[in-house]
Structure 1
Amino acid sequence: MVMRPLFSGEDIDLHIVLGTPILYSRSYDMIIFSDVHLGFEESVARGLDYSSRRVSTRYTGMFIPKIQLRNTLKKLGFVFKYLKPKRVIINGDLKHAFDRLLRQEREEVKKLLNYLISNGVKEIIVVRGNHDNFLPIILREYGIELVREYELYFNNYKTLFIHGHLEKDISKYDLVVIGHEHPSLRCFNTYKFPAFLIVPTILGNRIVVLPAMSAYHPGTSISLDPENYLSPLIKKYGILNKARVIVWVEYETVEDIEFGIESTVSEDLVIIDNYQLDNRGISVIEFKDIETALLTCGL
């Protein structure tokens, strides 16, 4: 067991892979992740800033360690050790530069795709993010189409995968899975934990926001203010005071066992599931709402 249900107490075939920003579906034998931002290190070295515009602005470049691809493959290596998925959805922002195709992007996107294929993946779906211009130049070598959105059913829940940076009528879907935000929970003004968000909407459906795969993009600090978010879907439809927050904490353990679990529930406000896997501990913490998460984290 290396998974934890995304929806506690509901029969929806979406599960968090422990210690990762990756979802897994048993019925489709599929993993889902978002916001890898390969090539970020080269853009920083060149002094290209894509933080707020569709084209780059210049600043003084600096060299930072090339860790994006290595960290991504490490997370995927954990997944393939246990699950062997045959399908993958990359839900936007596979690469980083808006206005060009950087050499690092070309090389590392190919390395990632080759890694997936070499591990038995038979189908790769890539959803277009706002950073994915010029990506089809690479994908066509693999026979992969860059799609604007993708639909599936999970236990009769009609689900839309879309990056989340554009307006979209989502009224006909039960679940909408987006990236783009890179949500995180800031604690005690020191720590920032990547977070899954489950946001109910005024339409009666839910938006699932994925944390980023990128190590260099801690992203949007969750809050109750819709103006702090990037996605027009959250701004327009989200009921943020009822949004659930799920984070994970890793720690070393000396217990020489592969797996164990203990669950505790505190006044129906916080659910903590404690796991031991590969000689490390992982605690998955689900907060009933954003206010509870912020109060618990000293904000």
Structure 2
Amino acid sequence: MNSFDICGAKVLNNALMVEDSLIISDLHFGYESSLNSQGFMIPQFQFEKIIDQITSIQDKACARNIILNGDIKHNFGKIDRQEWKEVLNFIDYLSDLFVEIQVIKGNHDNFTQYILDKRDIKMKNHIIIDNFYITHGHKLPPEIPDNIETIIIGHEHPCIGIRNGERVEKVKSYLQGTWTNYNLIVMPSFTPVSYGSDILHEKTISPFIKNVSQFKVYSIENWEVYPFGSIKDILSVSQEENYY
């Protein structure tokens, strides 16, 4: 496993470590049941995979605290049975691994607070650790303290498509760029159900990302980090290389 950091935040697969806090984003519990309701027969497998990922990451991180950076559940307008069960079970599991659990509200979390009330956890719009400002990324903050240097967001679910023969494989990725005068880190999603949106070909959705072509890409696969350079550079060689 490579030891790698982005703007001072340590990369641990699809989680970041800032000081003594682990940060993960976009869990989307209930995603399978939402797909099932749309006619896609997907087995409910992501809870076990997320638990395995957290266990593996925490074994290496030994973090004191954990921050869930938005979109804990998937459905916008309701709480289904899968979401109730898995969010509560996940919080209970985290309680055995971490001293403190903090939750940031994402755009899918309209009703998540009702679940978290069962465990006396209150969602926040952002969390500050030293000179890091952590927020979900679906809307811009009204103000940012003077000491902040780096903003960490989720929401975007960035990945890139890499061609392998006739197959195109999506690889989850971090993005590093700037927003106004701040460093900006965009985290990959933690859900294993979806790899995310291909930032080489799909429009970005976060208001923090104004010119995505200038962002650098760091893809992750089996704990290794692969710096691919800027999106602009990737697109310029995409016809000759394995990007599609």
Would you call these one fold, judging by a TM-score over 0.5?
yes
Matched with 1:233 is 208
* 8 Å contact from structure 1 (residues 197, 208) kept in 2: yes
Contact 2:154–2:189 (CA under 8 A) maintained in structure 1: yes
**Which of residues 79, 87, 90 in structure 1 aligns to 2:68?**
90
Give the Cα–Cα distance (whole angstroms) in 1 for the partners of residues 243 and 162 of structure 2: 6
1:100 aligns with one of 66, 75, 78: 78
Aligned counterpart, 2:28: 37
TM-aligned CA deviation for residue 83 of structure 1 = 2.7
Superposed displacement of residue 15, structure 1: 0.5
- TM normalised by structure 1 equals 0.73
TM-score (normalised: structure 2): 0.88
Q: What is the rounded CA distance, in whole Å, between the counterparts of 1:131 and 1:193 in structure 2?
A: 23
Q: Percent sequence identity over matched residues?
A: 27
What aligned pairs does 1:137-286 form with structure 2 within 5 A after superposition?
137-153=114-130, 158-169=131-142, 172=146, 173-188=148-163, 190-201=168-179, 203-223=180-200, 228-235=203-210, 239-250=211-222, 282-286=223-227
Over the aligned positions, Cα root-mean-square deviation in angstroms equals: 2.0
Matches within 5 A, 1:286-297: 286-294=227-235, 295=237, 296-297=241-242
* 1:21 positional shift: 0.7
Report the Cα offset of residue 115 of structure 1.
0.9
1:298 lines up with 2:243 in the alignment = yes
Report Cα offsets for 1:196-215 as digits up to 9, x if no partner: 001123x2322110000111
Q: How much does 1:62 deviate? A: 3.1
What is the distance in 1 between the residues matched to 2:128 and 2:29?
Answer: 25
Q: Does the alignment pair 1:15 with 2:10?
A: yes
- Give the counterpart letter for 1:16 in structure 2: V
CA distance in 2, matches of 1:285, 1:210: 15
Number of residue equivalences: 235
| Structure 1 residue 112, shift from structure 2 partner | 0.8
| Matched residue type, 2:208 | L
SS at match of 1:73: helix
Q: Counterpart of 1:112?
A: 90
Question: Distance in 1 between the 2:208 and 2:87 partners?
Answer: 28
- Deviation string, structure 1 residues 2-58 (Cα, Å, up to 9, x no partner): 662323xx6x2x1111xx211113x3x2110100000111112222xxxxxxxxxxx
Give the CA deviation at 1:169: 4.9
| Paired AA for residue 95 in structure 1 | K
Mapping of 1:58-69 within 5 angstroms? 61-69=39-47
Q: Deviations over 1:234-275 (max 9, x none)?
A: 13xxx433311101233xxxxxxxxxxxxxxxxxxxxxxxxx
Corresponding letter in the other structure for 2:62: K
Q: Is the 8 A contact 1:200 1:240 kept in 2?
A: no
Task: Report which stretch shifted further, 138-147 or 95-104.
Answer: 138-147
Give 5+ residue unaligned stretches, structure 1. Answer: 48-60, 251-281
Q: Secondary structure at the match of 1:190?
A: strand
Distance 1:79 1:298 in 2: 29
Aligned to 1:181, what secondary structure does the other structure show?
coil
User: Within 2, Cα distance between the matches of 1:286 and 1:207?
Assistant: 16
The Cα of 1:63 is off from its aligned counterpart by 2.3
Runs of at least 5 residues in structure 2 that lack an aligned partner in the other structure? none
For the residue of structure 2 that corresponds to 1:81, the secondary structure is helix
Distance in structure 2 (CA, Å) of the matches to 1:82 and 1:249: 16
Post-superposition CA distance 1:114-159 (Å, at most 9, x none): 111112x111110001111111111112121111111121xxxx22
Describe the SS at the equivalent of 1:232: coil
Q: CA deviation at 1:170?
A: 6.2
Maintained 8 Å contact 1:187/1:298: yes
The answer (yes or no) to whether the contact 2:33–2:82 under 8 Å persists in 1 is: yes
**Does the 8 Å CA contact 1:3/1:16 hold for their aligned counterparts?**
no
Relative contact order (alpha carbons < 8 A, sep ≥ 6): 1 or 2 greater? Answer: 2
Name the amino acid aligned to 1:43: S
